[in-house]
Structure 1
């Protein structure tokens, strides 16, 4: 058990990667060479089993916004000492026919926007809010971070089970599994997810501004999202995302900073 605990501690300590946008070290022992091929394969499978919309104005808009967001990210990274950071990314932007109000970006830059979210985004700038946020998840390696955290969670569960067996207390294994699962999810995994979402908001609003889209549209989009849900919120402790109210407040405060960052790249007027 001591060896296992030491091994886990060393794994956590030496498996950190710096987030270029925040300068913070984050837990990540999943290299791009492992994560990206998995993501690309899953993306292809998804596209093959869903209806991809092409040759429409909306589909063209998705690609246009995606390209501008990706270019803005590259410009920022190059200017801040991270040239080549995106070398393994294979950007792709697809509009998929679905009533779901959602969009996502897989590690490595594979993006899907569902048609169901377009009535909420309304404009190209609104779409840029969504795509900037999703791209930010990929840029900050949030997928790999979640995989790393989940792996440690599983290892911890196994270690606890072994410890109970070694100490002849295996009768408590079911109780431990329940308590451990609830404790790590509510106390670690869910707050971790909410933190990732808040970070993606901050990165995304900055990138969309550099891409030439008005960052003031970000809080407006979330006002529309909140209205769509009738203002109803899930229990904040059990949610994977921050509340709409906190996101609106946070994004409103970030608008001036995003505009100032865009100005560094000569962008002073916005779409």
Structure 2
């Protein structure tokens, strides 16, 4: 029998019964080398990686990884060596996505800035005048050192921006990208689960014709745009939600949500292809990561400005007013203009995707003209474009009209069937003109009828004083009845 001391290992060799395991090459090689060095005349020899069903020998390493060693065949007995201690490894932990951490820390940044700025103000107000003067002199003497420190900080910030520049996958535009698209995929998965929980009672079954129509259009867009690498890399999934909102959106992980209100708002299938192409363009280009990156930079700069506001303003009320003004300036100067820029880019890319899918790209402008009329008829207030996160309908129509000729050329190069000679934009314009003319004629007729009724009431004799009826004769109420009936006629109109 072999001596236990000669075969002392840092792992456990034990019998596994009827279970089958496969050996890891690294563990097998290390065990074989150690055994052959310990006893050069050992009869244990490697015979390749084979599986011995009833009597396989397993090696448990210090890390708690179970592996079988099937390359050793003892002559007449089994060797069991127990290690002095064992370790068990836990499951792999998933890192929290960076955008989620940023969303959590975003409100804390403002709170820290407010506390810091207010503390600086309180500290400065509590200082005596002589110490304030000494501090000013100390700052002036070291102005070049402070300027150098600020310049160094700006240099490192610029270096950070330059090392995080990225190129847009379709348009080739240079952009700042602090967050990776992979991190946003994890965040989008959590967002998709939340939306699925929210819309679980209103999701349309996949067998519904509306769901099948949207899914067929998405498949067509994917097949006709296979030359775009990002299009094939994203697993697109369609969800149709039964709801009145005229809305559709796509998450970065390819989850597509379309409301039935959007299906009722579009006039034909070509408009729906453009809408789907527009939303898919957001996911292909990675607009979510780009917008979050810019917002992160703006928030960091806003923290510095917010700290200065709370440190300089003499009272908390003025500091709150300055904070509100600072927040509005950030929205109107950075957030909303950048969002409108991304929407315009999605319109451009979506029009290209629809053109390669053989859709009539001329219908894209018609859709936004329809949306403008719908907003006017529904009484929704028209806000200026600089207050909105999306371009106005009129600007979208002008931009798409400018891009339609190029999209038609792209469509012709993709071996698509010829389009009808009748331009849907011209048809829509003529239809709107006929509708407006009809409404104008109807209003004119109602106005003339109203004037005629007013004239008929005025031409009747109106008594200056009510005559006293003679005794035994009926009262003359004709003029009084007409006069009292005139206001009711006007109110009914």
TM-score relative to the length of structure 1: 0.88
Q: For the pair shown, which has the larger CA radius of gyration, 1 or 2?
A: 2
1:269 is aligned, of 395, 399, 418, to 418
Q: Structure 2: give runs of 5+ residues left out of the alignment.
A: 1-148, 421-493
Aligned mates of 1:40, 1:142 — CA distance in 2: 16
Gaps of 5+ in 1: 78-83
- Counterpart secondary structure, 1:93: strand
Q: 1:219 to 1:22 in 2, by over 3 A?
A: same
Counterpart Cα distance in 2 of 1:56 and 1:170: 61
Q: 2:184 aligns with which of 8, 28, 35?
A: 35
Quote the residue 1:81 is aligned against.
Answer: none
| 1:1-271 aligned within 5 A | 2=150, 4-50=153-199, 51-54=202-205, 55-75=207-227, 77=228, 84-86=229-231, 88-163=233-308, 169=312, 171=314, 173-230=319-376, 233-269=382-418
- Residue 9 of structure 1 deviates from its aligned partner by 2.9
**Aligned equivalents of 2:359 and 2:181: distance in 1?**
29
- Residue pair 2:247, 2:262 contacting (<8 A) in 1 also: yes
SS at match of 1:113: strand
Which structure ranks higher in relative contact order (CA pairs < 8 Å, sequence separation ≥ 6)?
A: 1
Q: Distance in 2 between matches of 1:70 and 1:205?
A: 14
Contact 2:222/2:231 (CA < 8 Å) preserved in 1?
no
**1:121, 1:57 → 2: CA distance?**
16
SS in 1 for 2:221: helix
Give SS of 2:261's match.
helix
1:89-109 per-position Cα deviation (integer Å, ceiling 9, x unaligned): 221111111111100011132
**1:93–1:112: 8 Å Cα contact kept in structure 2?**
yes
- 1:142-191: CA deviation from partner (whole Å, max 9, x where unpaired): 111111111112211222234567xx536475354223211121011111
Take 1:71 and 1:135, find their aligned partners in 2: how far apart are those partners?
14
Deviations 1:196-250 (A, max 9, x none): 1111111101101101111011001111111110175311111111110111121
Which SS does the other structure have where 2:364 is aligned? helix
CA distance in 2: counterparts of 1:246 and 1:151, whole angstroms: 29
Q: Distance in 1 between matches of 2:389 and 2:232?
A: 30
Deviation of 1:269 (Å): 3.3
3-12 vs 132-141, greater mean Cα deviation = 3-12
- Residue 80 of structure 1 corresponds to which residue in structure 2? none
Q: CA deviation at 1:38?
A: 0.9
Q: Displacement of 1:70 after TM fit?
A: 2.5
Worse-matched range after superposition: 214-223 or 6-15: 6-15
Report if the CA contact (8 A) 2:309-2:323 is conserved.
no
Q: Secondary structure at the match of 1:17?
A: strand
Distance, in Å, in 2 between the alignment partners of 1:152 and 1:103 is 29
Taking structure 2 as the reference length, the TM-score comes to: 0.50
Question: Contact 1:215 / 1:259 at 8 angstroms: preserved in 2?
Answer: yes
CA contact (8 A) 1:72 1:208 kept: no
Q: 2:181 and 2:233 mapped to 1: Cα distance?
A: 8
Secondary structure in 1 matching 2:175 = strand
Number of matched residues?
262
Choose between structure 1 and 2: higher helix proportion.
1
